[in-house]
Structures are given as structure tokens and as C-alpha cells.
Structure 1
Amino acid sequence: MSSELRQRHKPSSSKPSPKTSTSTPSNNARGISILDILRVLATLIIATLGLSYYMTGSESVLFGYRPWFTRLPVVLRYIQGPLLLTPTELSLYNGTDPTLPIYLSVNGTIFDVSANPLVYGAGGHYNFFTGRDATRAFVTGCFKEDLTPDMRGVEEMFIPIDDPEEEKMLSSGERKKRREQDLRIARQRIQTQVAHWEGFFRGHKKYFEVGKVVGLEEVIAKEEKRELCTAAKQQRGRREGGGSVKGKE
């Protein structure tokens, strides 16, 4: 009896109920990693470069933008430093020697135009510009007569032809003042045109600056002063009454 009571009152060794467990995210449900972002960006960049290459006709992967450091000839010239060539040395780079680049000069600045041999190479339409400084021809448009850096007298093409009757009415002081004003305006126009052509070659996506011509002053000093070519004379306007200028039609 007593043993039965002991068994009846024996504490049960029941296991404690497990705690309610919270679910944890599995490895398959992780967030976006940095690696995933980099993959997406790389895919977008490659796709953009490919689209540019296709749209520009296989010429550029940056939609026509070509920084100077992506062009090997420009980088090499930058490393080597600017060239200093005399007019005689510059004459060798006229496109006749296939082992040499093609150079031309505007206002003493030398540009490499080798990327366009059909235009500036031997037999090209503008080959006569190469191997020399032909600044005068760039301004006057006289490609046969004015392939020279000598700009003396070019300002006359921008000075209007005076009306003889009006000229008689001016005093010598007034004529002198008008002449000085005409020269000042003409030289400004020359500078503008020369700067335009320098900017054309300097900013061109295929051409680039390589150096300077030295000794041009000595060459010009030895030449006789040129007359204004016929084509340039024909571009002069006529001054009408009141000082206004009528352009050549």
C-alpha cells in the first residue's frame, strides 16, 4: 500500500514544452549584394559601348567622343614633347614619303593630318597645304599664289574701295583717321579667320597639334612683298556715301 502511495505521488519527469521558435530567413532568400549591383552596371556599360560602336559605324565606343589620351599618336607626341621644325624640315612631311606623317602649319602651329591621306596625302585635293605654312592662302583663298606664311598686305582685301567723290570731301586728317580705322578692322578680321583655321585643325577629331615652325620670320624677310591676288581683290567691297560698305556681289 505504502509503495503504491509512493508511486502515486512520485513527481512526473515530464519534459518542458519547447519554446515557440521564430522562423529565420533561409540562404536562398538573401538580399541584393554588391556583386549583383556591379554585374548589372557592367552589363549596362558593355551594352552602351556596343550601341555606340554600332551607331557610329565602328568608329567610337563613346558616341563620337574621343579623349586625346585614347589616341595613340597623340599620346606618343605628348610623351615625346612638341616638335620644332624649320620650314625646310617641315617640307619633308608633305605626304610623298609613306614612312613619315603628313604635316601642315597654320600661323606657325604644326598639325598632323595623316589620318586623312585621301585629302592631304600625295594626289589629294589639299595636298598643296602640306609640308609648309600656308596661312596666307587660308585667308585669301588663293591656293596657287599664296602658299606662304607671309601675311603682309592681306589686310587690303578687307579694306573697302573708296568712292572718289566722297573722298574729295574729306580732309587729309579725316582720310588718315579713316585709313587707320580700316586697317584696325581689317587686321581684326584677319586674326579672326586665322584663329578659325587654327581652331578647325586643333579641334578636329582626327587631326592634332604636334609642334611649331621655327624661323618663319627669316623666311618672310627674304621674300618680296606680295601683291594681293586677283581672287582676294575681287572680294573687296565698295564704300558708299556715309561710310557704309557694300559687299562684292
Structure 2
Amino acid sequence: MATASSTRRRPPRVESAASKSTTSSPPSPDEPEDTTSRVISPLDILRVILTLIFASCLLSYYLTSGTSLLFKYNPWFLNPSQLSLWWTGPLALTPEQLALYNGSDPAKPIYLAINGTIFDVSAGKHTYGPGGSYEVFAGRDATRAFVTGCFLEDRTGDLRGAEMIYIPIEDDPEEEISSSARKLRAEKERREAKKKVQDEVRRWEQFYKKHKKYFEVGKLVGVPEYTGEPPKLCEPAEKGRPKRKNMNSKKEKKKHAPGKPVQ
């Protein structure tokens, strides 16, 4: 049996200098830090962004002669009324409720309605507010007036009979036309006149929808059905109707006008 003194022992493992050099070790507290590398912090990024925004505002102020800091860009979220509408959702007002937004109360916005759509026109308070040139439209649906141009007489949404503004006055008794042809012509002209009315209404509706300062806020509800006799065409609109005699005269002149020479 081998004794303890005769047992061979392995010598301790000695690492080479090359392996020691490749082994990473934490820096000693006495070693100086490497100040040549720079790490960009979130605070640095924020400083750059704020500097760019400030420079952009100054440039906008200079280029617009002091009228705007955002290159005349008016985002909807900076408008308190539009921001409130986005939060609460579209409005649904009856004609009686809409009448409260006619500009008489400075604490309330100014609304008007066209074709059942309500628009906020508070940005034009000097025009739609009390004493303004279009104050008759505030707080109501006066779609008919947009078609006829009679602001005082046609402050209503009733469009019945408004197509008469485009239908010619029959003032040519010498016109040679049969009764059946006259009837067919009248039906065609009425259809075309009603289409012109709807086109005019849509044109004004799009005007307010695409306006930079006015915006849609909701719909008009609870509007009673228009019954009884339709409104008569207001006097200025009646006088502006086309006359059959003039139309026939133009057709006659066009008929006998010399054509282009044949080449």
C-alpha cells in the first residue's frame, strides 16, 4: 500500500501570459475612465427635437411676416371646439335646440344648418353673429335661402317649389308647339330644375365641409314634415326666372347664324 508521501501530486496549473491577456477582467478602481466614447442619452435627443421645433417656429414667423408660428397650419386638435367635439361625439339637435346657438349668448358657439347638417361657424362671428351680414342663417336651417338668395323670406329648410327659380316663364303665346310636346317639355324641365336645386344645396354643403375655419358638428333631428301649400317663390327669385320668349329668340338666332365655312 502506497504511503501519503509516495503519492504523486499534479503540479498547479499555470496559465500562460497570452491566455491572461485575452481574459477580460473588470477595471480596477484606480484605472482612469475612457472619456473618448460618448453615449447619446434620451435627454440629448429631446434637446435636439426642441431646438428644431423652436427654429421652425422662428422661420415660420419670419416667412409669414409675423402672422403665424406654424406656417399658417391650423390643426384641429388646437381648436377647443373641435377637440371637445372629438371627445363627446357628433351632436343631434332639434330646431328648437339649434336656435339657442344663434350668437346671442357669447358663451355658446354659433351654429347653422344646411340640408340637415349642422356646422360650427363661430370663427366667423363678425359675419354670422348679431349684426353680421349673414346673421339670418345662425341658429337655423335656412337651406332654401341658399338656393333662392332671399335671406329674409326663405329662412327655412323647405325646398318644395324652389325649383321654380330655374323653370322658364311661359310668356311666348306665339310659340308653335303642341300641348303634348309642351307637357313633355315641362316635365323634363322640372326634373332638371330639381336636380339643379340639389346640386346647389350640395355645393353649399361642401363649402362648409371644406372650409378651413368652419366644421361639421352634427345633424339636425326632429324636423317636422313639411305639409300644406309649398312656399311661394320670393319676389327677387321670381323676377330672376328665365323667360321662354328670350330662350326661343336665342334659339332662333342660333338657328339662322352662319356656320363655319366648309374647308
Q: Judge same fold: TM > 0.5, yes or no.
A: yes
Secondary structure class of the residue paired with 1:110:
strand
Residues 127, 73 of structure 1: alpha-carbon distance in 2 compared, 3 angstrom cutoff: same
Match for residue 101 of structure 1 among 109, 115, 118: 109
Q: In structure 1, what is the equivalent of residue 220 of structure 2?
A: 213
Distance in 2 (CA, whole Å) between partners of 1:59 and 1:199 is: 28
Q: 2:58 aligns with which of 28, 50, 62?
A: 50
Say whether 1:178 aligns with 2:185: yes
Hey, which of these two has a bigger chunk of helix by percent?
1
Which consecutive residues of structure 1, in runs of 5 or more, have no partner in the other structure? 1-26
Q: 1:224: Cα distance to partner? A: 3.9
Q: Number of matched residues?
A: 216
Is the counterpart of residue 226 in structure 1 residue 234 in structure 2?
no
Confirm or deny: 8 A CA contact 1:107 1:198 kept in the other structure. yes
Q: In the aligned structure 1, how far is the partner of 2:120 from the partner of 2:248?
A: 48
Partner of 2:90: 82
**Residue type at the aligned position of 2:131:** G
Are 2:137 and 1:129 aligned?
Answer: yes
Give the TM-score of the pair, scaled to structure 1. 0.73
Q: Secondary structure at 2:218's aligned position in 1?
A: strand
Cα distance, 1:181 vs. partner? 1.8
Q: Distance in 1 between matches of 2:190 and 2:250?
A: 15
Structure-2 separation of matches of 1:134 and 1:182: 25
Contact 1:149–1:216, Cα closer than 8 Å, also in 2: no
Task: Give the match for residue 3 of structure 1.
Answer: none
Q: In structure 1, what is the Cα distance between the partners aligned to 2:46 and 2:103?
A: 48
Match for 1:182: what amino acid? E
Paired residue type of 2:156 = T
Contact 1:103 1:130 survives alignment (8 Å): yes
Distance 2:53 2:137 in 1: 42
* CA distance in 1: counterparts of 2:61 and 2:174, whole angstroms: 63
Residues 139-170 of structure 1, C-alpha deviations (whole Å, 9 max, x = no match): 11111101111111110101122352464x22
- How far the C-alpha of 1:230 sits from its partner, in A, is 0.9
Report deviation, 1:185.
1.8
Alignment of 1:200 with 2:207, yes or no, is: yes
2:164 aligns to what?
156
Give yes or no for contact 1:93–1:131 (8 Å, CA) kept in 2.
Answer: yes
What is the rounded CA distance, in whole Å, between the counterparts of 1:37 and 1:93 in structure 2? 47
Structure 2 gap segments, 5+ residues each? 1-34, 253-263
What one-letter code is carried by the residue in structure 2 that aligns with 1:228?
A: L
Paired residues of 1:60 and 1:66 also in contact (CA < 8 A): no
* Counterpart-to-counterpart distance in 1, 2:178 and 2:153: 37
Taking structure 2 as the reference length, the TM-score comes to 0.70
Shift of the alpha carbon at 1:172? 2.6
Q: Quick one: structure 1 residues 227 and 94, their matched pair in 2 at CA, closer, same or farther if it must change by over 3 Å?
A: same
Query: Aligned in 2, Cα 1:75/1:40: closer, same or farther, shift over 3 Å?
Result: closer
Shift of 1:102: 1.0
State how far apart, in whole Å, the 2-side matches of 1:40 and 1:233 are.
66
Query: Aligned pair 1:238/2:246, yes or no?
Result: no
Q: CA deviation at 1:134?
A: 0.4
**SS state at 1:148 partner:** coil
The amino acid of 1:231's aligned partner reads: P
1:23 — aligned with what?
Answer: none
Q: Deviations over 1:63-101 (max 9, x none)?
A: 333233332311210221111111111111111112211
1:199 CA drift (Å): 1.6
1:46 is displaced (CA, Å) by: 3.6
